[in-house]
Structure 1
Amino acid sequence: MTMNRRKFLSTGSAIALGALAAPAIARTGFAADTIKIGSLLDTSGLFDAYGKPMDMALRLAVDEINGAGGLVGREVEIISYDTQSDMALYTQYAQQLVRKDKVDVVQGGILSASREAIRPTLRKSKVPYFYNVQYEGGVCDRNIVIDGVTPAQQSEILMPAIINKWGKKIYILAADYNYGQITARWMQKYAQDAGGEVVAVDFFPLDVSDFGSTIAKIQSAAPDIVVSALVGGAHLSFYRQWAAAGMNAKIPMASSTIGVGNEHKVLTPEEGNGIMVAYNYSPELQSPTNLAFLEAWTAKYGDVSAIHEIAVSHYQGVKLWAQAVTNAGTPDRDKMIEAVEGGLSIDGPAGKVSIDPKTHHAILDVHLMEFKDQSLKVIESFSQRPPVDTQAVCDLQANPDDTTQYEIKI
């Protein structure tokens, strides 16, 4: 994929992301004190397939920021800890970042549990926090900025598209925790709005890996479409068992989760081809900003195979923070947050990303895509979708002291 783009990339597309050239020369003009960005990510442990590319994305973004002159005349310094997929380490290292390292911002967290383990510490310490992962929505906290796609942003695109393409009878499978339960409700809402009928919704604990009886139930229900909000390595077994039973040739499938961590590259083309998804990013996007991002990633890491949805969200989260600091003229927390609420926007690899002042969530493009030969082929792009789920419960302009994660009622 990189090779067939190289001629285009050499024509100056790096301008779209900011020059990487001559970082050593740029650094000679930095002030003595650095701006410290704290990073908490699982670069080992159960979730390192998500965390390692996110760490790579953060380091690329900071290289670009420093190579372009830093922020307000100061170099950005990364202070990172490997949380090892351990919630206790998230708590420990968050306290270390704010008390000992005295960072100016924290970027990190993968699971919602990890976000909630550190969010109170960062809020109490008045250290701004950027959480850059697809999640269930509903967090309402002025100290946090969230740029991952939320369930309504996906479902409002995905559900009408699959109903129009494949039929009205839908069978939903979802992980049995808050993300899966909330996402399933949004799927039901948008299916009904589009004239569809949800014939069943089944929830599965994260350690379930045998889906034989579930496949038999689906066969009996005879839906037109199966929609999955399954999560994690054990649930990946469903897609393999579905294909092994020959069902992928009989009933089409869509998902709100598979592919965000490159799971489609673990499945064979025969197992994954034809699955439809709606996400903020695909490496196949032909925009100048994405092509420049791919070129910069290749220059730093050698190839683009590690890039996935939440790595790009993390890269965009770092760039959003940098733009907020630039707009504020300082990394000071209160002034930076005022900049977040004053029309913050960047052009990232996935398109324009703007922050909604009332929720601190992202308004972003959503791309309807299909798996084909382990790639995410873009079918249609939908511009600047607001986080309507979180907007239904959160208004930080009216209630700036709110710190709740709401369970969104639909």
Structure 2
Amino acid sequence: MSKNRTDLTNRGAASGSVTRRTFLRSTALAAGGLIAAPAIMRHAALGSDDPILIGSLHDQSGAVGTSGVPMVRALELGIEEVNAAGGVLGRPLKLVHYDTQSNIQLYTQYAQQIALKDKVAVVHGGITSASREAIRPVFGRYKTLYFYNTLYEGGVCDRNVFSTGTTPAQTVEKLVPYALERWGKKVYILAADYNYGQITAKWMEKYTRDNGGEVLSVDFFPLDVTNFGSTISKIQQAKPDVVFSALVGGNHTAFYRQWAAAGLKGSIPIASTTFGLVNELAALEASESDGIISGYGYYEELTTPASTKFTGALKEKFPGIPYISELAACTYEGFHLWVEAAKKAQSIDRMKVTEALEEGMSFDGPTGTVTIDHKTHHTVRNAFLAEAKEKLWSVVGSYPDQPPADTAAVCDLIANPRDTKQYVISL
């Protein structure tokens, strides 16, 4: 057995089939650690009692690990629910999870292992766009269906991939005009220095121009940067009306603390496409976060019956779980979309499930009704704006049934089903 698969609370494994009783017992143990993963699938033909393997590649440690923990928990919850209802096609589901530790090399390594050795039916995984682009070609090469359940910059056009998170046309297009109208037209942009931050910054610039605003400067930061003193001085000198932030990860949380310490929070407001995804409201004092505006496809504070049921179940199963954001909600919905498609197809075959999803598969989840768009393999979904108040989010805007219009401008998988690119949308 590989040394990378021996730790059952991290990314370990033990081979062999499980009964429903032993599976549910192992699921209950997940409250203290991640579900164990099988080392190598048996080469014998699977019987009706053998579990269907669901893959997970999510960071549980490192710069974005805090974001990944609720995503895996959402998968664990979904699997437990489906198994309690009889499984899929009469078989239980079992999670095969690897902690990718915010390390792109591990993403590539584990992607090959989960596809070739574990032979999972589907993979849910990736947080940063860099991690997605590291594993997306692997799953295409080995014909393993892949769900990317994270908000991102848009443009992925790949029939083997379903992207369930929000894109800029669904959230940034709402956030920018709201901020400009509320605070003023002069904008300073901060973003993480990789493709998500770079492309999202371009969308911020576009929507600022479209709404009569002016971009004073755009600054990019590697994910390991924690000192923003010189940047804060530059912003003070530029005197913008609002700062737009697409900073990413636990290290970048330092910006908001340093911003408040410099005495600027009360004079220059912040609107962000990423603030809150790393549990910032819990990590920061209310005096450091109050007033920040964000735009997402989900907030834990939504009070719909489906949202309340989802958050209640996660918190009961996993006490102390970090904030339940769009990342967890979209992962849960992506999982259930695959389940419903497998049931409709009466198969876990990759192409049969893909074709069932392409028929416009919908799921009523915590974010509302989400529907697969055949042309782009993205989702039509609700979007929201919210303001941080006393370490909670207060929803200030709701936008139902938003299409992935940005990706639809460059992607048509109906006309070009063999496309496998990520397009940088011309702005």
After TM superposition, the score normalised by the length of structure 1 is: 0.89
Please tell me whether residue 286 in structure 1 is matched to residue 286 in structure 2.
no
Identity among equivalent positions (%) equals: 54
- 1:103 is paired with a residue whose SS is coil
Query: Which residue does the alignment assign to 2:373?
Result: 356
Please tell me whether residue 91 in structure 1 is matched to residue 101 in structure 2.
no
Within 5 A, what are the aligned runs for 1:148-159?
148-159=165-176
Q: Distance in 2 between matches of 1:348 and 1:355?
A: 13
Q: CA deviation at 1:276?
A: 0.4
1:254 maps to amino acid = A
Please tell me whether residue 107 in structure 1 is matched to residue 124 in structure 2.
yes
Q: Distance in 2 between matches of 1:34 and 1:97?
A: 15
Q: Distance in 1 between matches of 2:90 and 2:84?
A: 12
Aligned counterpart in structure 2 of residue 37 of structure 1, from 50, 54, 67: 54
1:45 maps to amino acid = G
Contact 2:54 2:93 in 1 (8 A): yes
Q: Distance in 2 between matches of 1:235 and 1:100?
A: 36
Contact 2:66 2:322 in 1 (8 A): no
Q: Distance in 1 between matches of 2:63 and 2:241?
A: 34
Q: Distance in 2 between matches of 1:312 and 1:127?
A: 23
After TM superposition, the score normalised by the length of structure 2 is: 0.86
Deviations 1:65-96 (A, max 9, x none): 11112112221121222222232222222222
Q: CA deviation at 1:339?
A: 1.0
Q: CA deviation at 1:195?
A: 2.2
Q: CA deviation at 1:303?
A: 5.2
Please tell me whether residue 339 in structure 1 is matched to residue 349 in structure 2.
no
Q: Distance in 2 between matches of 1:380 and 1:193?
A: 20
Q: Distance in 1 between matches of 2:410 and 2:119?
A: 33
1:97 maps to amino acid = I
Contact 2:249 2:278 in 1 (8 A): no
Q: For structure 1, which segment, 60-69 or 220-229, has the greater mean C-alpha deviation from structure 2 after superposition? A: 220-229
Q: CA deviation at 1:214?
A: 2.0
Distance 1:91 1:304, change over 3 A: closer
- 1:172 is paired with a residue whose SS is strand
Please tell me whether residue 69 in structure 1 is matched to residue 86 in structure 2.
yes
Q: Distance in 2 between matches of 1:83 and 1:130?
A: 16
- 1:296 is paired with a residue whose SS is helix
Q: CA deviation at 1:304?
A: 5.3
1:314 maps to amino acid = T
Contact 1:269 1:372 in 2 (8 A): yes
Q: CA deviation at 1:336?
A: 0.5
Contact 1:26 1:69 in 2 (8 A): no
Query: Which residue does the alignment assign to 1:378?
Result: 395
Q: Distance in 2 between matches of 1:200 and 1:152?
A: 22
Aligned counterpart in structure 2 of residue 246 of structure 1, from 258, 263, 281: 263
Q: Distance in 2 between matches of 1:152 and 1:345?
A: 20
Distance 1:210 1:45, change over 3 A: closer
Q: CA deviation at 1:104?
A: 0.8
* Structure 1 segments unaligned to the other structure (5+ residues): 1-22
Contact 1:261 1:310 in 2 (8 A): no
Aligned counterpart in structure 2 of residue 162 of structure 1, from 173, 179, 188: 179
Query: Which residue does the alignment assign to 2:142?
Result: 125
Distance 1:209 1:299, change over 3 A: closer
Contact 1:160 1:191 in 2 (8 A): yes
> When the two structures are aligned, how many residues end up with a matched partner?
386
Contact 1:248 1:271 in 2 (8 A): yes
After superposition, the CA RMSD in angstroms is 2.0
Q: Distance in 2 between matches of 1:42 and 1:304?
A: 15
Within 5 A, what are the aligned runs for 1:208-287?
208-287=225-304
Please tell me whether residue 116 in structure 1 is matched to residue 133 in structure 2.
yes
Q: Which has the higher contact order (CA 8 A, sep 6+)?
A: 1
Q: CA deviation at 1:254?
A: 0.5
Contact 1:297 1:303 in 2 (8 A): no
Deviations 1:213-262 (A, max 9, x none): 32222222222111111122332222111111111111111111111221
Distance 1:305 1:103, change over 3 A: closer
Q: Distance in 2 between matches of 1:281 and 1:37?
A: 24
Within 5 A, what are the aligned runs for 1:50-61?
50-61=67-78
Contact 1:226 1:252 in 2 (8 A): yes
Query: Which residue does the alignment assign to 2:5?
Result: none
Query: Which residue does the alignment assign to 2:44?
Result: none
Contact 1:206 1:234 in 2 (8 A): yes
1:343 maps to amino acid = G
Aligned counterpart in structure 1 of residue 218 of structure 2, from 194, 201, 209: 201
Query: Which residue does the alignment assign to 2:424?
Result: 407
Please tell me whether residue 300 in structure 1 is matched to residue 329 in structure 2.
no
